[in-house]
Chain A
């Protein structure tokens, strides 16, 4: 599965480089969104079909876990992103601004490039995109060791593009925590970006 996922991404990069130009991006976006909507719909059907699981997940302990997961991901991301400033040559502020995207690269790159600098916008795009792309490889690997750990690498993408893969690699319970975590992270990304940009 991992090799197939990795091979498909590489195939896409080479195919895009050899046969397409930048004008194809809009069409690719449309295909991406249609495929994603369909996958999320199917993931929703699988979640909804598990009524017992939905009822069982609504316990105080599970709700605490549902909030603890995104909180840990936020803290870990910012600590990791902050520490990376020692190695990348970027300032601590710039590193935290890029990290604040939490995997939502389309939003963070646009916000950072328009409100800070184009160069950092490119770093934000690449860094957050790499976070999501590498998650396609990491999730099947992490699932063998600890299912809940599959939620960590993707950040905000855990609720959509990575959700179907997470469910396939783990189980429905992990899929639900993944969705909730991605939703919470998606809600806080605009807040973190605004907050950091206001401190500039």
Chain B
């Protein structure tokens, strides 16, 4: 997450979006166009994210030195998160199946 003090911007965007959706401001065709533009923005964002890494020679040099530590640490946090979340999804899925949780 690259937000540099822009938590407020994100919150405004999501709340504005929820309100626009809740009051059904846009028709189906507009929503479809917005969804397609959003997909285009996803790819634009990934290009920029990659470019931010690629344009920084210092960072690329650091990747060579510190990259394996970062890769291992980042990888293990992901694995840890997945292993910890899995039982939660199983418990709540079984509750959902027994009708306790509304899907």
Contacts and interface: CB of A to CB of B under 8 A. Distances in A.
Contacts of A156: 1
A95 B76 CA distance: 11
Interface in A124-143: 125-136, 138, 142
Interface of A: 4-5, 8-18, 20-22, 24-25, 28-29, 31-33, 35-51, 54, 56, 59, 61-62, 65, 68-69, 72-73, 75-81, 83-84, 87-90, 95, 98-99, 103-107, 119, 122-123, 125-136, 138, 142, 146, 148-149, 151-153, 155-157, 159-161, 164-165, 168, 173, 179, 186
B85 A126 contact: no
Contacts of A8: 43, 46-47, 50
- Give the interface SS of chain B, mostly helix, strand, loop or mixed: helix
A130 B69 contact: no
Contacts of B72: 84, 87-88
A3 to B, nearest CB: 12
Contacts of A77: 77, 80-81, 84
Nearest to A20: B55
Contacts of B7: 186
Interface residue tally of chain B, by bracket? 35 or more
Given A20-B55, A72-B81, A105 B2 contact: yes
B50 A13 contact: yes
A83 B101 CA distance: 34
Contacts of B21: 44-50
A37 B9 contact: yes
A48 B41 contact: no
Nearest to B90: A146
A142 B83 CA distance: 13
Given A44-B13, A131-B78, A160 B3 contact: yes
